[in-house]
Amino acid sequence: MAQTQYAIRLEHVTKTFGGVAANQDISMQIRRGEILSLLGENGSGKTTLMNMIAGIYYPDEGQIYVNDQLADIRSPRDALALGIGMIHQHFKLVDVFTAVENIALGLPKGERFDLRRVRDKARAICEKYQFALDLDQKVYEMSVSQKQTLEIVKVLFRGADILILDEPTAVLTPQETERLFEVMRNMRADGKAVIIITHKLHEVLEISDRVAILRRGCYVGDVLTADATEASLTEMMVGKKVELDIERPEPKDPVRRLAIQNLTVYNAEGIKVLDDVSFDAYGGEILGIAGISGNGQKELLEAIAGLQHAAPGSDVKFFPPEREHQPMELLGKTPRAITEAGVHLSFVPEDRLGMGLVGSMGMTDNMMLKSYDAGHSPLVDRKAPQELAKEIKEELGVVTPDLNTPVSRLSGGNVQKVLVGRELAASPIVLMTAYAVRGLDINTSYTIYRLLNEQKKKGVAVLFVGEDLDVLLQLCDRILVLCGGRVNGILDGRTATKEEVGLRMTNLVKEDAEQ
Amino acid sequence: MSSLIAWILRAIPFGTIIMYGAMGEIVTEKSGNLNLGVPGIMYLGGFAGFASAYYYENLTANPNPVLSVVIALLCALIASTLGGLIYAFLTITLRANQNVTGLALTTFGMGVANFFGVFILNGSSYSAAPLANKAFAAKIPVLSGLGTVGQVVFSYGFLVYAAIVLAIVLFWFLSRTRMGLNLRAVGENPATADAAGINVTRYKYVATLCGAAISGVGGLYYVLDYNQGIWATTEQIEALGWLAVALVIFTTWKPLNAIWGAYLFGMLYWLYQFLPSLMGISVPSYATDLIQMVPYVVTILVLIVVSLRRKKENQPPASLGIAYFREER
């Protein structure tokens, strides 16, 4: 075996965050002159694993060997000294600096400071790998793709020969992706080891030589791309079905509550994040929305709730119970008007306190956020919200020393209960939840499922954006799969298989397969 | 014509005071620290410089003018650096709110200077350090006698020229050196600077302390040159300190702009005294304060124009006023 066959070798690497294992006993190898895809669902531990190689995290257990030498990587600097460079999803660039200035930032002190020499060397790198980059351009004038290119040039400039790219194509157009792949192939031809973190199957098959798969923090295995198909990769990625024993009552006489037609949304950068989405939601059923995060789930819910602008031609109709033949157009209405009509959004963002709750206020005050303008008195009514807070505390078992303890001091699960409880208490007609069980322990998750089922029995139309396919398949009556902002099929929750959903999440199905 | 010259002769020393204050604040703000304690720091620098020069003159048998300059400068630098240290420790290490800390420092600096000033004043309304004043205000020999040009260009104390040199040095430092590049990165995007291996805390500390030292020289120049070496309990320095903060915005954080900006502010500040006589009109005394407001009005106009044009280069450092936490999971 050649001495430097493996650029990186991991031996039994484990990393835990607050008792939850993000990576469990992972052993794998990365070779020179190959492009390795690291494939896995959200939260499967891909980025954590790579962050340990790049010096952002330090493994709790296990060893990392770089070029067959045991390496102790404590910081990104250590990683760079070993020739490891990682390009993160969030770029680390100074906006008002030019490309050259950004490259020069933090260069070792030994050499004389000379921006012209930096520029010459950077230009040579650009020519070698055929990067299209104006080195004198300011970063704030650059497109996302150019910034990414600059990040790559930055690590190459520092002599990296092991490159890790964290979901590089998530922000690129197809043409830009093609150009990035071209550059990656050039780097491979130059003998560098290139790792690409992704969950897009067609990209995996197009660019990589080998695929390594992670699932729930564990290493599933690796296959040569030549031997892999989309179906085999999906199966490795999502695994076998796990029985969860979630209750799923049959929907009772479903009534149409929402009719979404041709909903298209552009984000602030002008990229189409929702593309011609059409579906109906019925009272008395739970409609699951599956998809890799960032495929339009957030925008879909926000557009319905009035928090996002929809492109012309879109249409969102709401059918209130009392006037079912007079649908109400939701687009163009203010978020408040939509909430008052009975369409509620309970969104659990990455930081639970970011949206919906004020961290420094207690439960009672957070309840008041929804009721402060009730009645005609100039003074606010504190009694009703206090009652409500008490009710939620008892019913959902919120652990808090006092109703007035700032919610930011509660544990994540309890904060989530407060948030969901408040939305449920408003007796919604349509209830939208996103990532309602993210970060919750099993028992609390089941409490949330039970609450959602209760709402369903009451005839509420529930939209449930979830991450865990097992939960989606066992809780929801129908599952809408979003992929690249498009509806990629609406499946029956009772008959769909995990592989089917997984495949649709990662790959647009060409033919119209709606049931 | 002669009143125009008199106007300039007044405006340039005035501009020099706020130029020091502003240059110090530019250095501080480039590291992302918004130090509103500039007036307090100028008080500290001015008082320490005056007090040391005063005691040196009065307690020494044969005081040497050069030595008195050195002592006064050194004491002013030390006192204002200590003022900056209070700010730096509170905002960088303890991550206290920058605005509140700065305003507290202003009050603190004024209080300290006025409190200890009581012992020097000893009951009288003012006291003076004539020797130090003579040394600080010494004009350039020969050149200052060369007619009108000589008078306008060469008839100031050495700190006026030092300020111009310092502005050029700062420009060169910020735009041409590795440390300048690193400092700007710290103020723009500390997380990026940190990832690039730059010691963010050290840069913030050093910039804040150096900035305070430079600002303090403005106070020293005010007392020992501009105010003819006289210490009195007035609030004049505070007003100058705020004008310096306004000047930072006016320069759009560029040291070279501080040179002409400061002199322009000086002209505008003295507008009320010279413009009426130049134009041959009389202005009622109650309008004086209104006219002295002009520099602030100009600053607001600059803010409006800069905000409207949204040119990134003219904006304050992106992370100005925000304490830096290294993100940990």
Task: Encode pLDDT of A374-425 as tens digits.
Answer: 777 777 778 888 888 898 888 878 888 888 888 877 776 778 788 888 888 8
Q: A6-238 with A245-344+428-515: one CATH topology? A: yes
pLDDT of B104 higher than 90: yes
Tokens representing A106 are: 């933090």
Q: How far is A412 from chain B (nearest CA, A)?
A: 15
* Cβ contacts of A17 on chain B, cutoff 8 Å: 329
Span B238-251, average pLDDT: 93
Between residues B117 and B285, the one the model is more confident about: B117
Secondary structure element (H or E) that encloses residue A150, with its range: helix A144-157
Test B182 with A106 for CB contact under 8 angstroms.
Answer: yes
- Which of A279, A287, A289 has its CA nearest to residue A251? A287
Residue with tokens 């249409």: A315
Secondary structure element (H or E) that encloses residue A263, with its range: strand A255-266
Strands A343-347 and A430-434: parallel
Question: Helix or strand or coil: residue A200?
Answer: coil
Other CB atoms within 10 Å distance of the CB of residue B286: 7
Inter-chain Cβ pairs, chain A and chain B, closer than 8 A:
55
Span A292-304, average pLDDT: 84
Widest CA span of chain B, in angstroms?
70
* Cβ contacts of A106 on chain B, cutoff 8 Å: 182, 193, 195-198
Has this prediction a pTM greater than 0.95?
Answer: no
Residue with tokens 């300290």: B112
Q: What is the mean pLDDT of chain B?
A: 91
pLDDT tens, position by position, B125-182: 888 999 999 999 998 888 888 888 888 888 899 999 999 999 999 999 999 999 999 9
Test A17 with B329 for CB contact under 8 angstroms.
Answer: yes
Range of the domain at B281: 2-314
Test A57 with B198 for CB contact under 8 angstroms.
Answer: no
- Which residue type, as a one-letter code, is found at position B132? A
* Cβ contacts of A105 on chain B, cutoff 8 Å: 181-182, 185, 192-193, 196, 198
What pLDDT is stored for residue A341 in this prediction? 82
Question: Helix or strand or coil: residue A292?
Answer: coil
Query: What are the domain boundaries of chain A?
Result: 6-238, 245-344+428-515, 355-426
Residue B26 located in a structural domain = yes
The length of chain A in residues reads 515
Q: Are A148 and A180 in contact (CB under 8 A)?
A: yes
| Whole-angstrom distance, CA of residue A85 vs CA of residue B197 | 14
Share of chain B above pLDDT 90, in %: 67
Alpha carbon A66 to chain centroid, angstroms: 30
* Cβ contacts of B196 on chain A, cutoff 8 Å: 92, 105-106
The length of chain B in residues reads 329
pLDDT of A450 higher than 90: no
Test A97 with B184 for CB contact under 8 angstroms.
Answer: yes
Span A428-455, average pLDDT: 81
What are the helix (H) ranges across A306-372?
335-341, 363-368
Phi-psi category of A481—alpha, beta or left, where left has phi over 0 and alpha has psi -120 to 50? beta
What pLDDT is stored for residue B260 in this prediction? 95
Q: How far is B187 from chain A (nearest CA, A)?
A: 10
Quick one: pLDDT band at residue A352, thresholds 50, 70, 90?
low
Q: How far is B10 from chain A (nearest CA, A)?
A: 38
pLDDT of B206 higher than 70: yes
Q: How far is B194 from chain A (nearest CA, A)?
A: 9
pLDDT of A515 higher than 60: no
Residue with tokens 């928090």: A307
Test A95 with B197 for CB contact under 8 angstroms.
Answer: no
Between residues A216 and A154, the one the model is more confident about: A154
Test B181 with A96 for CB contact under 8 angstroms.
Answer: no
Minimum-distance CB partner of A105 among B177, B181, B313 = B181
Residue B13 located in a structural domain = yes
Minimum-distance CB partner of A92 among B177, B181, B195 = B195
What pLDDT is stored for residue A368 in this prediction? 85
Q: If you measure CA to CA, which chain B residue comes closest to A139?
A: B312
What pLDDT is stored for residue A347 in this prediction? 64
Which one is the CATH code of A6-238: 3.40.50.300, 3.10.620.30, 3.40.1260.10, 3.40.50.1820?
3.40.50.300
- Which residue type, as a one-letter code, is found at position B259? I
- Which residue type, as a one-letter code, is found at position B293? M
Question: Helix or strand or coil: residue B140?
Answer: coil
Minimum-distance CB partner of B312 among A92, A96, A107 = A96
Q: What is the mean pLDDT of chain A?
A: 85
Test A97 with B182 for CB contact under 8 angstroms.
Answer: no
Strands B126-128 and A486-492: unpaired
Q: For B76-80, B302-306, B323-327, which range has the lowest pLDDT when averaged over its residues?
A: B323-327
Q: If you measure CA to CA, which chain B residue comes closest to A112?
A: B178
Q: How far is A21 from chain B (nearest CA, A)?
A: 14
Minimum-distance CB partner of A96 among B191, B193, B313 = B313
Residue B322 located in a structural domain = no
Q: Under CATH, what is the fold of the domain A245-344+428-515?
A: Rossmann fold (3.40.50)
Test B312 with A57 for CB contact under 8 angstroms.
Answer: no
What pLDDT is stored for residue B329 in this prediction? 36
Other CB atoms within 10 Å distance of the CB of residue A136: 10
* Cβ contacts of B189 on chain A, cutoff 8 Å: 92-95
Distances (CA, A) of A87 to A104, A160, B183: 17, 11, 24
pLDDT of B31 higher than 80: yes
- Structural domain count of chain B: 1
pLDDT tens, position by position, A359-372: 788 888 888 887 77
Tokens representing A357 are: 């709750």
CATH number of residue B148's parent domain: 1.10.3470
Q: How far is A155 from chain B (nearest CA, A)?
A: 11
pLDDT tens, position by position, A210-256: 999 998 889 999 999 999 888 888 888 877 777 777 888 888 888 88
pLDDT of A354 higher than 70: no
Residue B48 located in a structural domain = yes
| Whole-angstrom distance, CA of residue A344 vs CA of residue A301 | 10
Test B188 with A105 for CB contact under 8 angstroms.
Answer: no
Strands A84-87 and A35-39: unpaired
Test B191 with A76 for CB contact under 8 angstroms.
Answer: no
Share of chain B above pLDDT 70, in %: 99
Q: For A414-423, A467-476, B194-203, which range has the lowest pLDDT when averaged over its residues?
A: A414-423
pLDDT tens, position by position, A75-112: 888 888 899 999 988 888 999 999 999 999 988 777 77
Q: Identify any residues that bridge with A30 across adjacent strands, giving them in sequence order.
A: A8
Minimum-distance CB partner of A106 among B196, B312, B329 = B196
pLDDT of A358 higher than 80: yes
Angle between helices B2-30 and B200-221 (to 10 degrees): 160
| Whole-angstrom distance, CA of residue B310 vs CA of residue B320 | 17
* Cβ contacts of B192 on chain A, cutoff 8 Å: 92-94, 105
| Whole-angstrom distance, CA of residue A396 vs CA of residue A437 | 14
Mutation pick from B30, B173, B176, B189 vs chain A, by most beta carbons of A within 10 Å, is B189
- Which of A365, A69, A323, A95 has its CA nearest to residue B310? A95
Residue B210 located in a structural domain = yes
* Cβ contacts of B197 on chain A, cutoff 8 Å: 76-77, 106
Test B178 with A94 for CB contact under 8 angstroms.
Answer: no
What pLDDT is stored for residue B328 in this prediction? 46
What pLDDT is stored for residue A4 in this prediction? 56
What pLDDT is stored for residue B281 in this prediction? 79
| Whole-angstrom distance, CA of residue B233 vs CA of residue B210 | 27
What pLDDT is stored for residue A513 in this prediction? 44
CB-based burial, A391-416: b 16+ in 10 Å, e otherwise: ebbeebebebeebeebbeebebbbbb
Q: For A23-32, A371-380, A423-432, B296-305, which range has the lowest pLDDT when averaged over its residues?
A: A371-380
What pLDDT is stored for residue A353 in this prediction? 57
| Whole-angstrom distance, CA of residue A445 vs CA of residue A436 | 8
Tokens representing A2 are: 């050649």
pLDDT of A351 higher than 60: no
Test B178 with A109 for CB contact under 8 angstroms.
Answer: yes
pLDDT of B255 higher than 60: yes
Residue B327 located in a structural domain = no
